[in-house]
Structures are given as structure tokens and as C-alpha cells.
């Protein structure tokens, strides 16, 4: 594949990408969920997983597919850009659920705050010993101190530099989470839920890991095994937990979990460490060299409006196919969500992008269903016509369509660091759920 310049990337039309995404959502929702018994529990594969896998397959085999279905590198970067506005619509839905559930969330009190420490320590406690037993060295610090999203990259880059062993570790965690984090956490959270060990609300708080796509996947897997009423509470508690992880959690990661990971490595490495190094030093692939000249485009205002409109249409179609709700009946609810996103996005950009857009969108949506708001009942009734699982499938569709570009780097990481990264993700979920479990009996 010849290198593609960043300039040519900017002229990619998103229309074919949108059409492919709509088709994927319709197929995924038509396939429906698949329950697989697994020992004492079960794994539930939801439509969002089919959507992610179909999008990934189109990117992997783009050179062998007909032109109309070809998702090449520029289109994969375009899908990454569209994923952000798609995520905001889901965040708006969660914010609407949080606003109406604020009295119940207030009852959780310290439970919601303290579960965040499970996020901070769970990843290190589960991931670090295994990393050392597998022979991984200082890469283990970067791979296990958090789930390795963008704030984690920034923290490690500032403290150690991205060319350090810690930098390679956090990059491994980032790539692993980007490629298979949503699939893994969906399967893992669904299996843990099926064991009936944790209260659903404890699992919900564990699902708020600070990553929109992973939170969405975990919430979907947990809620799919609950009653409709409990499913709403699961989404609300997960949204509140995710908001805490996104804001306060970033600072706690810097000042608590990273120093803890460094300390744990220093103490455990002489005991558990092995000679093998987890580093993988191979030359970049041709696809990586081609992707190096590209970046995720920053969508202009009209492009974001188009993205919200198309994603909204995908939600309506998925809601109809997957849950039987007529499109016209769900249309006002989707319009209200998009309205909350637009207002939150305008505030975010108007205030210099200093606070993440997800926070503003969440606050706007929460205000629309806050018990003191005169139209809260009307907004709640209209938006309840939109099943939140129908919002997750479009988001993971674009995630899948964007992933193939990261596969070469994923292959270079080696299986050991990937195993550790997945254990860190599992530890974040389980650590928060364990702490939250002690508080849900009062709810």
C-alpha cells in the first residue's frame, strides 16, 4: 500500500461510510443477542458486538472487497472522528437517566465516590503480579496503573516519556483497550453478572471505568440480564460512576494509582520477576508507516451536525428493528438527546475546551430530567421510548470501522502485554464492584 498523505485524507467523503454504518446496525439488530452457556455462568453476545466485528472485518479485508464496501485507511480515520459525536449522544441518554435518578443516587452517597478507589487499585492488584510472572519489566507500570485511555497516555508521557518502558506499557494498554476492550469488558461483565454474586447496582458502578465505549459495552451486558426497571437504574449508576472516573478519577490516577503502581513494581519485581522482557522490538509495518502520516480529523460544526443527524437516524432504525418501537414514536426522544448534545458541545467549545465535552453534555441532560425542572416528566417519558442499548450499537459500529488501522501495532505488542492489559481492565471493573457491593444494601 503506498503512503497516503494527510492532505488526501481530509477530502474523504463520509457518505459511503454512513451508508455502510447504517447497514451494519440493521444487520446487527436483526441478528439480536446470542446467549452462550459457560460453566456456572453464561456469556451474552449483544448486537453491539456483531456491529463492532462487522466494522472491523470491513477494515481488515478492505483491499479484497468491492469498492462500495471498501473501508480503507482514510475512511478508518474518518470513522474515528465520527465516533466522538456518536459517543456524546449515548452520554446524553445516560445523563437523562441520571437526572431522574438523582434521589436514588444520593442514597448511594459514599458508595459512588469510594468505588472509584476500586478502579484505582484493582487494575494494579490484578494486573501487576501476572505481568511480573510473565517476565514483563517496567512496561508493567504503564500497562496496569489505569485502563490507559487518553488521560493515562498524557500522564505517562509527562512523567516518563512515551519512548520509555512505561510509555510502551501504557501504549499497549491503550491499543488493547481500543481494539478489543469493548468486546472483552462486554463478555467479562456479562459473565460476572450471570454468576449472581454482585448486586446489579454494584456492577453498574463498576462499569463506569472512564471510557465511553467500554462503559457502554459493560452496561449493555449487565442491563441485558435485568428487569426493564433495574436496567434503567444500572444505566444511571454507571453514568454517574463514569462521570466521576472521567473527572475526579484523572487526578486520582495521577496522584494515587500511578505512585501505587510504581511502589508495587518496586516491591514485587524482586519476588515475582522473571528474566523474560515483555518488549517487542520489530520494524513498523507498511500499514503503520502509511497511517503515520494521518490523524483523526477534527469535524467542523456542520460535519458534527450531520454526524449527530445520521447517528440519530441509526438509533431510530436500530430501536425499531431491535426493540419494536415505531420510528415516529421514538423521534422526539432522539431529538431531545441531540439537542442536549448540541447545547453541551457549544458550551464546551465556548469555554475553551478546558472541561471535557462529556461533562457538559451530561450536565445539560441531567438538568432536563432533574426533579425540579418543570418539563422533567415530559422529557423522561419521551426519551424512555429510546432503549439505551439501541444507542450503543451505532457507537460501536464506528469503533469497529476505525479499528483495522491499529491492528499492526496490536500484533507487535506480544501476547503477554495483551493478557496483562485485559487483566487490568478486569481489575478496574471488579475492584469498583467489590467496594460498591458493601454500599448497595442501603439502596
Q: What is the pTM of this model?
A: 0.72
Q: Is the pLDDT confidence value at 162 over 80? A: no
Q: Is the pLDDT confidence value at 58 over 80? A: yes
Q: What is the pLDDT of residue 252?
A: 79
**Residue 398 resides in a domain:** no
Contact between residue 431 and residue 119 where contact means Cβ atoms under 8 Å apart:
yes
Q: Per-residue confidence at 65, pLDDT binned at 50, 70, 90?
A: confident
Q: Is the pLDDT confidence value at 317 over 90? A: yes
Q: Cell 472485518 appears where?
A: 57
Which contiguous run of DSSP H or E holds residue 262? helix 258-272
Nearest Cα residue to 210 out of 272, 118, 79, 78: 118
Arithmetic mean of pLDDT, 194-216: 87
Report CA-CA distances (Å) from 394 to 82, 90, 184, 399.
10, 10, 18, 9
Q: Is the pLDDT confidence value at 396 over 70? A: yes
Contact between residue 394 and residue 50 where contact means Cβ atoms under 8 Å apart:
no
The region of weakest confidence among 33-37, 66-70, 223-227 is: 33-37
**Residue 146 resides in a domain:** yes
441: containing domain: 109-280+413-443
The region of weakest confidence among 195-199, 359-363, 383-387 is: 359-363
250 vs 137 pLDDT, higher one: 137
Cell of 406: 491499529
10 Å CB burial of residue 273 (0-12, 13-18, 19+) is middle
**Residue 251 resides in a domain:** yes
Q: Is the pLDDT confidence value at 395 over 60? A: yes
**Residue 34 resides in a domain:** no
Q: What is the pLDDT of residue 57?
A: 92
**Residue 237 resides in a domain:** yes
The region of weakest confidence among 61-70, 124-133, 192-201, 249-258 is: 249-258
Q: Per-residue confidence at 22, pLDDT binned at 50, 70, 90?
A: very high
The region of weakest confidence among 26-40, 55-69, 409-423 is: 409-423
Q: Is the pLDDT confidence value at 228 over 50? A: yes
How many domains would you assign to the chain?
Answer: 1
**Residue 246 resides in a domain:** yes
Q: Per-residue confidence at 193, pLDDT binned at 50, 70, 90?
A: very high
**Residue 334 resides in a domain:** no
Contacts of 378 (CB under 8 A, 6+ apart): none
What is the sign, positive or negative, of the torsion defined by CA atoms of 199, 200, 205, 208? positive
Q: Quote the percentage of the chain above a pLDDT of 90.
A: 32
Which contiguous run of DSSP H or E holds residue 41? strand 41-45
**Residue 7 resides in a domain:** no
Contacts of 295 (CB under 8 A, 6+ apart): 6, 9, 77
Amino acid at each position: 500500500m503506498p503512503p497516503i498523505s494527510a492532505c488526501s485524507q481530509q477530502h474523504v467523503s463520509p457518505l459511503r461510510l454512513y451508508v455502510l454504518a447504517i447497514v451494519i446496525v440493521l444487520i446487527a439488530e436483526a441478528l439480536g443477542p446470542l446467549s452462550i452457556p459457560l460453566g456456572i455462568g453464561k456469556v451474552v453476545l449483544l448486537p453491539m458486538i456483531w456491529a463492532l466485528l462487522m466494522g472491523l472485518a470491513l477494515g481488515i479485508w478492505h483491499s479484497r472487497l468491492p469498492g462500495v464496501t471498501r473501508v480503507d485507511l482514510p475512511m478508518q480515520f474518518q470513522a474515528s472522528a465520527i465516533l466522538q459525536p456518536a459517543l456524546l449522544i449515548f452520554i446524553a441518554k445516560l445523563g437523562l437517566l441520571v437526572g431522574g435518578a438523582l434521589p436514588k443516587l444520593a442514597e448511594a452517597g459514599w458508595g459512588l465516590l469510594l468505588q472509584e478507589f476500586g478502579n484505582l487499585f484493582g487494575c494494579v492488584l490484578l494486573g501487576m503480579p501476572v505481568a511480573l510472572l510473565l517476565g514483563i519489566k517496567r512496561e508493567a507500570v504503564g500497562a496496569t496503573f489505569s485502563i490507559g485511555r487518553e488521560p493515562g497516555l498524557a500522564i505517562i508521557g509527562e512523567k516518563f516519556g512515551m519512548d520509555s518502558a512505561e510509555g510502551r506499557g501504557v501504549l499497549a494498554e491503550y491499543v488493547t483497550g481500543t481494539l478489543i476492550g469493548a468486546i472483552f469488558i462486554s463478555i467479562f461483565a456479562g459473565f460476572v453478572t450471570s454468576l449472581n454474586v454482585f448486586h446489579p447496582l454494584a456492577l453498574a458502578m463498576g462499569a463506569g471505568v472512564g471510557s465511553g465505549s467500554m462503559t457502554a459495552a459493560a452496561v449493555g451486558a449487565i442491563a441485558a440480564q435485568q428487569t426493564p426497571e433495574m436496567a434503567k437504574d444500572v444505566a444511571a449508576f454507571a453514568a454517574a460512576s463514569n462521570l466521576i472516573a472521567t473527572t475526579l478519577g484523572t487526578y486520582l490516577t495521577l496522584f494515587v494509582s500511578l505512585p501505587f503502581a510504581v511502589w508495587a513494581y518496586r516491591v514485587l519485581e524482586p519476588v515475582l520477576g522473571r528474566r523474560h522482557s515483555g518488549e517487542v522490538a520489530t520494524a513498523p509495518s507498511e500499514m503503520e508507516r502509511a497511517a503515520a502520516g494521518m490523524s483523526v480529523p477534527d469535524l467542523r460544526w456542520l460535519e458534527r451536525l450531520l454526524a449527530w443527524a445520521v447517528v440519530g437516524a441509526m438509533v431510530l432504525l436500530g430501536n425499531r428493528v431491535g426493540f419494536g418501537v415505531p420510528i415516529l414514536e421514538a423521534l422526539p426522544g432522539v431529538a431531545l438527546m441531540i439537542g442536549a448534545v448540541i447545547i453541551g458541545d457549544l458550551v464546551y467549545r465556548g469555554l475553551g475546551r478546558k472541561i471535557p465535552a462529556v461533562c457538559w453534555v451530561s450536565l445539560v441532560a441531567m438538568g432536563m430530567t432533574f426533579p425540579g425542572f418543570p418539563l422533567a416528566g415530559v422529557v423522561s417519558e419521551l426519551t424512555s421510548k429510546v432503549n439505551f442499548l439501541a444507542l450503543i450499537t451505532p457507537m460501536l459500529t464506528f469503533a469497529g470501522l476505525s479499528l483495522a488501522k491499529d491492528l499492526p501495532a496490536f500484533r507487535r505488542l506480544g501476547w503477554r502485554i495483551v493478557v496483562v492489559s485485559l487483566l487490568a481492565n478486569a481489575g478496574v471493573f471488579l475492584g469498583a464492584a467489590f467496594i460498591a457491593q458493601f454500599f448497595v444494601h442501603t439502596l
